[in-house]
Structure 1
């Protein structure tokens, strides 16, 4: 009788160990699958550019967390990542919030190289910050010189401070048209057009990627056809 009980206990223990092992394998598989799904999402890299104090960080934090942070001072740069739904497709946006101070001008090139799209931000209450957008744009064009079209939006922030406006809408819009880009006014405080500028920029980034992939596939297809013709000969 004791032998039978011992055997049953051993079987029970083996079954428990097996179930535990299966559960661990299942958990690891689910974690790996989740990680794979996460990494398979399209990733759009956005760089916030503009003079210090124009509200780049406030716009970023409002978009990320639905919060208005009035007094926030980034160091060299702060990076954020968020999963969003863009036109029915789940994607990830990576936002690099760069410091606008002149002290960091030398390291901006490295940041700009990694960016796929840019929000060029100024404050409508400070004309000097609007004038500075031309210099920031030139730096972006220089760093991304090998690219044909660079996704970029000009953003006039602090639209809630209309009574302190120094940059007329017509002037900002005219400059954006000259550069061939969209101009949007935002308010990090009231959240006006905050989502719009990020989503519109992601659409431009996506369109550029699709165009590049199409050109790449077209060239590859043409090369294959040429190779096939070269292999053929008349008998």
Structure 2
């Protein structure tokens, strides 16, 4: 029986969660901004043991617009990628601080790895800035979480996100493969995604 792991991408609006996911899975980014309610991406990845494991990526709404849905998503996921905007760190990093606390409260003693991503690196000059060093220390030392700086638009460190997520979930990926199936047969059924329509969203909110 194949195993399945679910990862949620969480963060404020317009920090680039959807762009990171689509760059990771499809090597492209959306041409225009469209607010996300909830989208699930599913794909199969080949492991080092030549078997397949299912990985689901949940793209969520920004901010705490739908708190019940957010809590339900947190309870259903095995790992979390918290995304903030390097060009607007004060507001967007505060958001992931609150999200981290929510994850701790909802998951309790259950192990749930958290990866922190500072996106939009292309808009910040000098990666080794004082602000970034402080944020790196908070995440890496105080929180004990992996920290990656990325640019979804410029395709910077995107593969690192995939590698770290798999490592934190203890998925031993085939060395020559990546999430896009570049080894030739990494993806067994291809990438599938399901976007939550507004009508489906309203029906779900009635039962939360």
Query: TM-score, normalized by length of structure 2?
Result: 0.73
Q: Secondary structure at 2:19's aligned position in 1?
A: helix
Richer in helix (by share):
1
Gaps of 5+ in 1: 1-39, 208-235
The root-mean-square deviation of aligned C-alpha atoms, in Å, is 2.2
Q: 1:164 to 1:199 in 2, by over 3 A?
A: closer
Out of 65, 75, 97, the residue aligned to residue 103 of structure 1 is 65
Q: Note if contact 2:116-2:147 (Cα within 8 Å) is conserved in structure 1.
A: yes
Q: Give distance in 1, aligned partners of 2:130 and 2:82.
A: 15
Out of 29, 35, 56, the residue aligned to residue 17 of structure 2 is 56
Q: CA deviation at 1:156?
A: 0.3
Q: Report the structure number with the largest CA radius of gyration.
A: 1
Query: TM-score, normalized by length of structure 1?
Result: 0.65
Could you report, residue by residue, the CA deviation over 1:43-95 in whole angstroms, capped at 9, with x for unpaired residues? Answer: 22110011111000100111111102252324321000122234465322100
Q: Give distance in 2, aligned partners of 1:133 and 1:141.
A: 12
Counterpart for residue 122 of structure 1: 84
More relative contact order in 1 or in 2 (CA 8 Å, sep 6+)?
A: 2
Q: Give distance in 2, aligned partners of 1:74 and 1:158.
A: 18
Q: Give distance in 2, aligned partners of 1:86 and 1:70.
A: 33
Bigger CA drift: 133-142 or 188-197? 188-197
Q: Give distance in 2, aligned partners of 1:139 and 1:54.
A: 19
Counterpart for residue 140 of structure 1: 103
Kindly report structure 1 stretches of 4+ aligned residues shifted beyond 4 Å: 86-89, 164-167
Gaps of 5+ in 2: 172-208
1:1-235 matches, cutoff 5 A: 40-87=1-48, 89=50, 90-127=52-89, 128-147=91-110, 149-163=111-125, 168-176=131-139, 177-206=141-170
Q: Note if contact 1:154-1:183 (Cα within 8 Å) is conserved in structure 2.
A: yes
Q: Secondary structure at 1:160's aligned position in 2?
A: helix
Q: Secondary structure at 1:44's aligned position in 2?
A: strand
Aligned residue-pair number: 167
Q: CA deviation at 1:172?
A: 1.4
